[in-house]
Structures are given as C-alpha cells and as structure tokens.
Amino acid sequence: MRRGSLLLLVVLLLAGCRTNDRSAPALYKRYCARCHGGQGEGAPRPNKMYPYLKLLASPMIQQGDRAAVRQQIVEGEGPMPSFRRRLSPPEVEQMIDFVLGLPSRKAGS
C-alpha cells in the first residue's frame, strides 16, 4: 500500500515536470534559479564575484526599477544570457513583477 502511493507520487512528479507551466514562478525556476537561487539569494561563492546574483541585494530590484530589470532580462549582461527568445513580452513583464516581489516574499516567509 505504501509502495503504491510512493509510486503514484513519483509518477505525478514526473508528469508535473512535463506540463508546460508558463507561470512566472515556474519560469523563474526553470530559467533563473540555477544562477539566482530559488528565492533570489544567489549562491555563496558566485556572489563574491557577482554580488547582485543575490537579487535581494540588487539596487534595481530594491528601487523597483522596471526598465532596468526589463533590459537585464531581455538583453542579458555579462554571464547572464538574453531571454528575448525564451520569454514572450508578457512573460517578461510577469517575470519583472515576480523578481521585484522577491524581497517582500522573502520577508513574509
């Protein structure tokens, strides 16, 4: 019985990976979290070289500078690739909302 439900869980998780979830949190996980961390915390060693990998500390995010964040996502910069081809314009706007909301979500959690 327990093994059965475990198997079911695994199947559901695998199915979940295949669904094409284009919500901002899912897209953030897919495209941004590997560099910026699941909650915008970055990663300890890379943060030394690129302090704003920690998005929570980023001035443009703290100031809510949508234009700067938009440019960063669309154009990329340095090691960060451009997401022009991977995110549609409305998805970019949702992603901006999402990353601008990271600090308050962090504080609330």
Cα–Cα dist 60/65, whole Å: 5
Question: What SS3 state is found at 80?
Answer: strand
Q: Answer yes or no: are the C-beta atoms of 39 and 106 closer than 8 Å.
A: yes
Among left, alpha and beta (phi > 0; psi -120 to 50; other), residue 64 is left
Q: Return the residue of 24, 60, 94, 103 that touches ligand HEC, per CB under 6 A.
A: 60
- Residue number, 9 or 66, with CB nearest to ligand HEC: 66
Of 63-92, binders to ligand HEC (CB under 6 A) are: 69, 72-73, 78-80, 83
Q: Name all contacts of 41-46 with Cβ < 8 Å and 24+ positions apart.
A: 41/106
Q: Report which of 72, 67, 30 is spatially closest to residue 55, judged by C-alpha positions.
A: 72
Q: Return the residue of 35, 41, 93, 101 that touches ligand HEC, per CB under 6 A.
A: 35
The reply on whether position 34 binds ligand HEC by CB under 6 A is: yes
Q: How far is the CB of 43 from ligand HEC (least distance, A)?
A: 10
Q: How far is the CB of 31 from ligand HEC (least distance, A)?
A: 4
Residue numbers of the site for ligand HEC (CB under 6 A)? 31-32, 34-36, 50-53, 55, 58-60, 69, 72-73, 78-80, 83, 95, 99
